[in-house]
């Protein structure tokens, strides 16, 4: 007799209280939709409860009461850890016999601390389509095989914390297409009444920037979907008829320019009419690839430029040069694609001089959009370990400070930096609309910093 259909799983995406970015777009929980699809393929009953924009704990409790499960799987980023903890504690009170597990970026890095402080049955480390399915299928047969499944952390019968080594999915095409039928896609409509679809064509990034969480999650491993699989997912998305805007949300799109060209050629050949945008690195674009990207519907590329200071760029271990930034922006704009740029403010070493280097660079490359963010010190990053060594922070921060993210207390305070940011925006020349947009961006950035300073802590 098949037992898989006797067990039911409820995935929960906890609310996201604004902490660093008031501009956050609400997007569907792709990671959970992948695991849900893998479970359904084995006959397991799954639900996804997306609480992303729920603010009220009472309404969350009533949703939980209406959705009993054998296993509750809670997803967690560092930025919504506090809500995830509260939900786990509530489920424990409501359903004493159900299993509760965590997964996602934050528990992948801090599983030990979480097992010591929160009553959960297991924590899944990294990508979990295989490991979680394995866990559930065994559980449905009454077997507890946690110690044998790769990429799980748990407490054994003696209370000791055990962690099995993780295993990456070599061929990511084996993972079924995300389970779109488990979410209400209309909830994710933008103000233009269309959905911004998120699609991941590859996983991981071969670089090791010092502020980024990815090296701790994917350990520098990069794997790509086949072009045929990406086209299949695009065709599925288009069949929903909710607009044709796609965000290729790879950690680093265009790692391999030949593959990128191949993908674009296939989109063109198959007549897939999409408007898309993505993220890339300034040292990974060339004019031929950009031409094909444009032809296949690419409207915007976001580059993590981070700073105009070579000294800070080196401190970050970004591994590109200022010349690469200038070249990439020139090629992208010449190719008719909007070039957006992310700048991190307040990285250790930031001062008036480095800021003016950033200003100089921005006025040279003249990006179509600039996103300024304060430098967040995320767990598992080299930056975080540097601060730990200096005894400026330790792991207890993540339990004591709700959802707060630490920021670095620099020579220069954030408010004088904000004034500098206004200057940067106003120094851009352009037509009235461009200029109005830039001023709007400046105001938005200011709001973003003010909110950060309310929630986040300086160390
Ligand atoms: C696309 C993306 C976004 C998109 C959409 C996110 C979404 N709704 O899916 C947008 C642009 C909206 C976004 C926003 C933000 N993001 Co983001 N995002 C990503 C990115 C590039 C890919 C995520 C993804 O879909 N991966 C593919 C799927 C397969 O992976 P996954 O979601 O991690 O899920 C897998 C595993 O983690 C695990 N898993 C996850 N949950 C669970 C739960 C259970 C029970 C189990 C068993 C397993 C499990 O299994 C899944 C399948 O393999 C990641 C980088 C990365 N590679 O993780 C950053 C990343 C997750 N984002 C990050 C951050 C910081 C943010 C923001 C806070 C940024 C900000 N300051 O505004 C916001 C918060 C968003 C939110 N609402 O929660 C950080 C998280 C760092 C941390 N320590 O928590 C990451 C790691 C980027 C980075 N380099 O630092 N993001
Ligand atoms: S910041 Fe970008 S390039 Fe650097 S490790 Fe993270 S994903 Fe890769």
Residues touching ligand 1 (Cβ under 6 Å) are: 16, 20-21, 24-25, 27, 29-32, 34-35, 52, 73-75, 77-80, 101, 103-106, 124, 127-129, 132, 198, 200, 212-214, 217, 249, 251, 378-379
Residue 381 pLDDT > 70: yes
pLDDT for 369: 86
C-alpha 374/C-alpha 345 separation (Å) is: 5
Question: Candidates 16, 31, 34: which one to mutate for ligand 1, based on the most atoms within 8 Å of Cβ?
Answer: 31
Atom 60 of ligand 1: nearest residue by CA position: 105
Per-residue pLDDT tens digits for 190-207: 878 889 999 999 999 999
Say what the pLDDT of residue 434 is: 60
Tens digits of per-residue pLDDT, 408-421? 877 677 667 777 77
If pLDDT is split at 50, 70 and 90, which confidence band does 437 have?
low
* pLDDT for res 450: 66
Dihedral sign for Cα atoms in the order 200, 79, 219, 125: negative
pLDDT band for position 438 (cuts 50, 70, 90): low
pLDDT exceeds cutoff 60 at 23: no
- The CB of 281 under 6 Å from ligand 2? The reply is yes
C-alpha distances out from residue 18 to 42, 54, 63, 253, Å: 37, 12, 22, 27
Q: Which ligand is nearest the CA of 218, by number?
A: 1
Q: Which of 97-106, 149-158, 396-405, 448-457 is predicted least confidently?
A: 448-457
Torsion sign over Cα 370, 371, 377, 378: negative
Looking from the CA of residue 24, the nearest atom of ligand 1 is 72
Q: Which ligand is nearest to the CA of 210?
A: 2
Taking the CA of residue 213 as reference, the ligand 2 atom at the shortest distance is 6
Instruction: For ligand 2, pick from 205, 221, 303 the residue to mutate: most ligand atoms within 8 Å of CB.
Output: 205
Does 429 have pLDDT greater than 60? no
Look at residue 292 and tell me whether its pLDDT is greater than 90: yes
Q: Check if 207 has its Cβ closer than 6 Å to any atom of ligand 2.
A: yes
The answer to whether residue 370 scores a pLDDT higher than 90 is no
CA within 13 Å, CB half, 64: 28
From the CB of 36, is ligand 2 less than 6 Å away?
A: no
Q: What does the alpha-carbon distance between residue 114 and residue 119 come to, in Å, rounded to a whole number?
A: 8
Are 389 and 408 in contact by the 8 Å Cβ rule? The answer is no
Is it the case that residue 449 has pLDDT exceeding 70?
no
> What is the mean pLDDT of the segment spanning 299-321?
97
Nearest by Cα to 375 from 351, 403, 350, 395: 350
* Non-local CB neighbours of 430 within 8 Å, separated by 6+ positions: 438
Q: What average pLDDT does the segment 302-311 reach?
A: 97
Per mean pLDDT, which range of 22-26, 46-50, 125-129 is the poorest? 22-26
Distance of CA 377 to the CA centre of its chain: 15
Which listed ligand is nearest to 208 at the C-alpha?
A: 2
Q: Which class is 189-445 in CATH?
A: alpha beta
Q: Measure 172 CA to ligand 1 centroid, in angstroms.
A: 17
**Higher-scoring residue by pLDDT: 52, 423:** 52
Average pLDDT over residues 367-374: 86
CA separation for the pair 110, 116 (Å, rounded): 10
More confident residue, 352 or 125: 125
Confidence label for 390 from pLDDT (cuts 50, 70 and 90): very high
Alpha-carbon gap, residue 300 to 332, rounded angstroms: 9
Task: Pick the closest to residue 265 from 236, 299, 298 (CA basis).
Answer: 298
Q: Is the pLDDT of residue 1 over 50?
A: no
Residue 4: CB atoms within 10 A of its CB come to 18
Angular region, 243: left φ>0, alpha ψ -120 to 50, beta rest: left
* Cα of 35 from ligand 1 centre, angstroms: 14
pLDDT, tens digit, 9 for 90 and up, residues 131-174? 999 999 999 999 999 999 999 999 999 999 999 998 899 999 99
Query: For atom 31 of ligand 1, which residue has the closest CA?
Result: 31
Cβ of residue 442 lying under 6 Å from some atom of ligand 2: no
Domain residue spans in the chain? 4-163, 189-445
User: What's the CA gap between 219 and 197, in Å, rounded?
Assistant: 27
110 alpha carbon, closest ligand:
1
Predicted local distance difference test score (pLDDT) of residue 373? 84
Is residue 19 predicted with pLDDT exceeding 60?
no
228-276 pLDDT, tens digit per residue, is 999 999 999 999 999 999 999 999 998 999 999 999 999 999 999 999 9
* 16, 55, 105, best to mutate for ligand 1 pocket (most atoms within 8 Å of CB): 105
b/e burial code for range 167-198 (CB count within 10 A of at least 16 → b): ebbeebeebbebbbebbeeeebeeeeeebbbb
Instruction: Report the DSSP beta bridge partners of residue 345.
Output: 374
Report the CATH number of the 4-163 domain.
3.40.50.2300
Q: What mean pLDDT value characterizes the chain? A: 91
Pocket lining: 378 vs ligand 2, CB cutoff 6 Å: no
pLDDT at 426 over 80: no
- Give Dmax over CA atoms of the chain in angstroms: 71
Q: How would residue 452 be classed by pLDDT, with cut points 50, 70 and 90?
A: low
* Nearest Cα residue to atom 78 of ligand 1: 16
Residue pair 361/308 in contact (Cβ under 8 Å)? The answer is yes
Q: What is the reported pLDDT for 408?
A: 83
Query: Atom of ligand 2 at shortest distance to CA of 212?
Result: 6
Q: How far is the centre of ligand 1, averaged over its atoms, from the C-alpha of 276 (Å)?
A: 20
């Amino acid at each position: 007799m098949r037992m898989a259909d006797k067990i039911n799983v409820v995935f929960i995406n906890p609310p996201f209280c604004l902490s660093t970015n008031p501009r956050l777009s609400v997007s569907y929980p792709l990671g959970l939709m992948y695991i849900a699809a893998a479970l359904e393929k084995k006959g397991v009953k799954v639900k996804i409860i997306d609480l992303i924009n729920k603010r009220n704990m009472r309404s969350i409790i009533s949703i939980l009461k209406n959705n009993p499960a054998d296993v509750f799987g809670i997803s967690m980023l560092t930025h919504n850890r506090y809500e995830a903890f509260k939900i786990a504690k509530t489920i424990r009170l409501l359903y004493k016999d159900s299993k509760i597990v965590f997964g996602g970026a934050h528990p992948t890095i801090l599983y030990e601390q979480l097992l010591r402080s929160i009553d959960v049955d297991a924590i899944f480390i990294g990508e979990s389509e295989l490991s979680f399915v394995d866990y559930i299928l065994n559980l449905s047969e009454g077997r507890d095989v946690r110690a044998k499944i790769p990429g799980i952390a748990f407490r054994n019968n003696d209370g000791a914390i055990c962690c099995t080594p993780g295993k990456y999915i070599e061929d990511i095409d084996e993972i079924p297409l995300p389970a779109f039928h488990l979410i209400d896609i209309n909830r994710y409509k933008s103000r233009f009444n269309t959905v911004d679809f998120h699609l991941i064509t590859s996983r991981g990034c071969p670089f090791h920037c010092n502020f980024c969480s990815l090296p701790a999650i994917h350990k520098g491993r990069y794997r790509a979907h086949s072009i045929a699989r990406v086209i299949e997912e695009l065709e599925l998305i288009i069949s929903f008829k909710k607009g044709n805007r796609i965000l290729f949300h790879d950690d680093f799109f265009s790692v391999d320019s030949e593959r990128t060209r191949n993908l674009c050629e296939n989109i063109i050949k198959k007549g897939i009419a999409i408007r898309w945008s993505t993220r890339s690195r300034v040292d990974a674009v060339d004019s031929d690839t950009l031409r094909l990207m444009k032809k296949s519907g690419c409207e915007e590329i976001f580059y993590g430029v981070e700073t105009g200071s070579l000294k800070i760029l080196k401190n970050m271990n970004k591994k590109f040069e200022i010349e690469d930034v200038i070249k990439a922006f020139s090629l992208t704009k010449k190719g008719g694609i909007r070039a957006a740029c992310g700048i991190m403010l307040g990285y250790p070493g930031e001062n008036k001089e480095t800021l003016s280097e950033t200003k100089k660079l921005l006025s040279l490359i003249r990006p179509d959009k600039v996103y300024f963010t304060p430098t967040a010190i995320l767990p598992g990053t080299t930056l975080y370990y540097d601060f730990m060594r200096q005894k400026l922070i330790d792991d207890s921060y993540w339990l004591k400070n709700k959802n707060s993210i630490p920021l670095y207390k620099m020579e220069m305070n954030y408010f004088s930096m904000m004034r500098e940011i206004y200057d940067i925006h106003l120094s851009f020349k352009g037509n009235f609309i461009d200029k109005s947009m830039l001023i709007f961006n400046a105001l938005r950035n200011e709001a973003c910093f003010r909110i950060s300073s309310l929630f986040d802590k300086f160390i």
